[in-house]
Amino acid sequence: MRYCSNSSIGVLLTISVILIGCGTDESPPELPHIEYRLVIADSIGVESGDTNYILGWVSSPTHSPDGDIVFADRMKHAVFMYTPDGEFIRTIGREGEGPGEFHMPGSLKFYSDGSLLIRDQDGIALFDSNYEYQGQMTWHFLTPYIVSALDGGGFIGIKTTAKPEEGKIKMVSTLARWDGDEDSSMEYFSLEFEWSTEPDVIDLSRNREGTIYCCATRDGLVFYSQSSIDEFVIHGCEPDGTPFLHIEDEIFHRVTKSEEELQTEMDNYNSTINMMTGGSPIDIPVLLDPYKRAVLGMFTDGFERLWVRLGCYPGIVFRVYDFSGEILFHATVDYPGNPLDLISWKITGDEHGFLAVNTSHEHFQRVYMLTLNEAE
């Protein structure tokens, strides 16, 4: 373990996006029977007014062991805490490089005793159950993203490293466990993908298999899927890495994005880049991937259920499994607005309920509280 602080480097650019068409009509499969709906009960976040409710860039919404709503705000460089009803309680940390201070915190997870891990660009900090700073782990290159804090100590996360080569950069993402040292104590899955360094184009289709969608329980069960447009496969591992689950949908097929979905993706991409860079005018064409990914996320809900977001359908559809791989039910999000808004939503859940955030900066930031209701 070492202690350090890193300076951030801002890159200013404006993105223009090229939409790629497809030569065949590869439509979504028939929508499964929906047994449950996730319904918006309330939200946190306003466009103007009390600054404790004006959110900048929400990341990693979750619940504390007591059921409070907690999330990081990258733009405000702090972690925010609210009651289950959405009333502001407090912030944890502030912008800076000292003990307990942050630069763009991006992920956080609670231990069952109420202590808390918070990751920012400089490392992972530990806070006790009273939210007092206890110490920090740092890495030589890119801090792991926290997937789960483990009751026995340590955490499961994803670490990305780079392997520069002529004209390109090979990236390696590894899903692993850490127990207090910079080196991981257990690796569950690793993938390598290429990141283009061509200055005149950003081709997002090159990274279509470069994401690990994953989650883990507090007792160390790990679930993961490699992003793909061609296959639907989910794996499960015991804490020691022993495989115990393999789920495969053999009838899955490629599905193309609609023109409206591509346009919404373009708008969301531009709005996020412009928010990050201040909109300085450097035009770089971006090639959008015309195909949908089979899986778009997963989480466990505290009741030995694995929620998998299916990427092939419009809106948001979850297939929910038990830990043996049996399908329990399908659920969708009941959303009163434009269904295309849901493209940029991220949803998670635990024993206290479900939370969602719209990652697009086309709209002001909110954290939504959702309830699970039987479909009519």
Q: Residue 43, SS3?
A: strand
Last residue of a domain, one of 138, 165, 183: 138
Instruction: Tell me if 147 is assigned to some domain.
Output: no
Q: What is the pLDDT of residues 163-212, one digit of tens each?
A: 777 667 788 999 999 998 889 999 999 999 876 656 677 788 888 898 99
End-to-end CA distance of the chain: 54
Do both 232 and 328 map to the same domain?
A: yes
Residue 8: name the closest of 87, 105, 92 by CA.
Answer: 105
Q: What is the pLDDT of residues 145-171, one digit of tens each?
A: 999 999 989 999 999 988 777 667 788
100 CB-near residues (< 8 Å, 6+ apart): 93, 125, 127, 133
Instruction: Tell me if 291 is assigned to some domain.
Output: yes
156 CB-near residues (< 8 Å, 6+ apart): 146, 147, 148, 150, 175, 176, 177, 178, 188, 216, 220, 222
Do both 38 and 125 map to the same domain?
A: no
pLDDT at site 284:
77
pLDDT at site 83:
98
Instruction: Tell me if 79 is assigned to some domain.
Output: yes
Which domain, by its residues, includes 252?
14-44+206-374
The CATH number assigned to the domain holding 64 equals: 2.40.10.500
Rg (CA), the chain: 20
Give the span between the Cα atoms of 192 and 215, in whole angstroms. Answer: 20
pLDDT at site 281:
53
Phi, psi of 269 (to 5 degrees): -65, -50
pLDDT at site 20:
40
| Number of domains present in the structure of the chain | 2
Q: Are 258 and 321 in contact (CB under 8 A)?
A: no
Do both 20 and 91 map to the same domain?
A: no
pLDDT at site 22:
38
Which residues of the chain register pLDDT less than 50? 1-24
Instruction: Tell me if 172 is assigned to some domain.
Output: no
Question: In this structure, how many other beta carbons lie within 10 angstroms of the beta carbon of residue 30?
Answer: 7
Do both 283 and 363 map to the same domain?
A: yes
Do both 261 and 117 map to the same domain?
A: no
Q: Are 124 and 116 in contact (CB under 8 A)?
A: no
pLDDT at site 198:
62
Give the span between the Cα atoms of 285 and 278, in whole angstroms. Answer: 18
